[in-house]
């Protein structure tokens, strides 16, 4: 298959699994996986991986299924293979606690090393892992400005223009076929974007929760919900309260 044919095939395959948006003048693709790809910057963004969450709970005596790190990394493998980005930014809460990266099993460490090979990898520090990562490729930062955008973990009420953040795990509820359906979502008003959590053991906070107060111009706010096999774009006014 020629490169052009392959690109056309990808365009068809991703017709319903991505939504193109413009954020502060920069084109971005919201992906059904919960990742964000910025083609002009060759940059992939994920947020709130919460790796080793099961292990963190186990250390506190609460047992969860121990498969979350493997499942999250497998999902990350797939999206990185799809876009092959030059840069990856992980927007904080990369691990569920301060010691998660230091205690990460060797087999998962090898997976992360393979994912980072040949590309720049930036770990943004989150409230769960404020001290950065330990013994893994890439660099840690509290926030980074690149390509006219600011990447940080917690959204800022002071400087939101061009901000891409995580932390709040946005979710939204719509009515579909006489039922209410709640899904994780990208939330953006074209000025700021909040990312859905990428980790498999993460929950969601409804976009109408008071924690989102003041972060968006509601008349321009759109939720791009992660459905089972496609994305659904819904204006804030049409979401269920």
Q: Where are the domains of the chain?
A: 18-238
Residue 226 has pLDDT above 70, yes or no: yes
CB 123 within 8 A of CB 137: no
What percent of the chain has a predicted confidence (pLDDT) above 70? 94
Query: Does residue 41 have a pLDDT over 50?
Result: yes
Place of tokens 């774009």: 233
Burial letters 37-57, b for 16+ CB under 10 A, else e: bbeebebbbbbbbbbbbbbbb
Residue 15's pLDDT band (cuts 50, 70, 90): low
Tokens, residue 131: 């001290």
Spell out the alpha helix ranges (H) of 84-143. 106-116
Are the CB atoms for 56 and 96 separated by under 8 Å? Answer: yes
Using the predicted structure, report yes or no on whether residue 4 has a pLDDT greater than 70: no
| Cα distance between residue 163 and residue 140, in whole Å | 18
CATH number of 18-238: 3.60.21
d(CA 231, CA 216): 21
Span 67-126, pLDDT tens digits: 899 999 999 999 999 999 999 999 999 999 999 999 999 999 999 999 999 999 999 999
């Amino acid at each position: 298959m020629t490169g052009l044919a392959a690109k056309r095939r990808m365009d068809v395959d991703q017709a319903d699994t991505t939504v193109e948006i413009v954020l502060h003048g920069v084109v971005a693709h919201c992906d059904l996986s919960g990742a964000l790809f910025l083609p002009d910057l060759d940059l992939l963004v994920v947020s709130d991986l919460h790796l080793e969450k099961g292990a963190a709970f186990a250390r506190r005596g609460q047992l969860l299924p121990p498969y979350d790190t493997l499942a999250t990394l497998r999902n990350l493998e797939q999206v990185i293979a799809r876009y092959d980005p030059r840069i990856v930014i992980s927007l904080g809460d990369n691990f569920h606690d301060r010691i998660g990266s230091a205690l990460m099993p060797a087999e998962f460490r090898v997976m992360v090393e393979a994912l980072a090979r040949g590309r720049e990898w930036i770990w943004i520090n989150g409230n769960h892992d404020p001290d950065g990562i330990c013994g893994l490729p890439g660099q840690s930062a509290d926030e980074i400005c690149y390509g006219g955008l600011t990447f940080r973990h917690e959204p800022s009420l002071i400087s939101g223009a061009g901000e891409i953040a995580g932390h709040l795990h946005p979710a939204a509820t719509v009515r579909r076929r006489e039922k209410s359906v709640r899904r994780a979502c990208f939330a953006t008003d074209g000025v700021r974007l909040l990312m859905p959590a990428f980790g498999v053991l993460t929950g969601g906070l409804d976009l109408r929760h008071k924690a989102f107060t003041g972060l968006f111009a509601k008349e321009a706010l759109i939720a791009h919900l992660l459905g089972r096999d496609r994305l659904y774009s819904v204006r804030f006014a049409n979401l269920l309260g």
